[in-house]
Amino acid sequence: MTAARAQAGLQRLDGLHAAILSDLQQAVFPQSPWSVADCVSLISHPGTFGWLLLDNQTQPCAFLLARQTLNEVEILTFGVTAGSRRLGHGSRLLAALLEDAQQRKFNTVVLEVAASNDAAIGLYRKIGFVPVGTRPRYYRTENSNEDALLLRLHIEEERL
């Protein structure tokens, strides 16, 4: 991690952050909250890594959790709290992920996103993600089922 990113309040996730990650994940995705135990299990799983972003150096406001699978990186969960959106926090976390993935010699990042999440889809496309498929009725809530778009990014050195 660069000094600039450290100053921006970017912290590597570890098991000590499980409760914070659970709270953030619940704030961003209240329809599918993760327990602290879920977060501990994911964070401690080999090949899983991620970051927290602190707003004003003190308040956790964004997170990204990913895992390496064979020859690619999969984003497991990624979000920014409502009051901290449109401030570049999502872009900052994705930049950290891409830098880390390239250092690990991975050249592909994949993710799933709700088909109705226009803000997230716009961010991903701006960075270079392209749609590669759909998972019908992937996100299930009490009232509906929503498709997930599968997106993929091929990492290029000059992108970083």
Query: Residue 6: what residue type?
Result: A
pLDDT at 7 over 60: no
List Cβ neighbours of 11 (8 Å cut-off, separation of 6 or more).
17, 51, 52, 53, 54
> What per-residue confidence (pLDDT) applies to 55?
85
Q: Can you give the pTM of this predicted structure?
A: 0.86
> What per-residue confidence (pLDDT) applies to 46?
92
Residue 66 has φ and ψ, to the nearest 5°, of -135, 170
Query: Catalytic residue among 72, 112, 139, 142, which?
Result: 112
156 is catalytic: no
pLDDT at 2 over 80: no
Query: pLDDT per residue over 93-133, tens digit each?
Result: 999 999 999 998 998 999 999 999 999 999 999 999 999 99
Query: pLDDT per residue over 9-60, tens digit each?
Result: 899 999 889 999 999 999 999 888 899 999 999 999 999 999 999 987 788 9
Query: Catalytic residue among 124, 138, 139, 157, which?
Result: 124
Q: How many domains does the chain have?
A: 1
- What span, in angstroms and rounded, lies between the C-alpha atoms of 42 and 36? 10
Strands 48-55 and 10-12, bridge-based pairing: antiparallel
pLDDT category at 137 given cuts 50, 70, 90 is: confident
> What per-residue confidence (pLDDT) applies to 31?
83
Neighbour order of strands in the sheet with 108-114: 10-12, 48-55, 59-69, 72-80, 108-114, 145-154, 130-140
CATH code for the domain of 123? 3.40.630.30
Burial class of residue 29 (count of CB atoms within 10 Å of its CB; 0-12, 13-18, 19+): middle
How large is the angle between the packed helices 36-44 and 18-28, nearest 10 degrees? 120
Q: How far apart are the first and last CA of the chain?
A: 13
Q: Which domain holds residue 114?
A: 3-159
> What per-residue confidence (pLDDT) applies to 70?
86
> What per-residue confidence (pLDDT) applies to 140?
77
> What per-residue confidence (pLDDT) applies to 146?
86
pLDDT at 3 over 60: no
112 is catalytic: yes
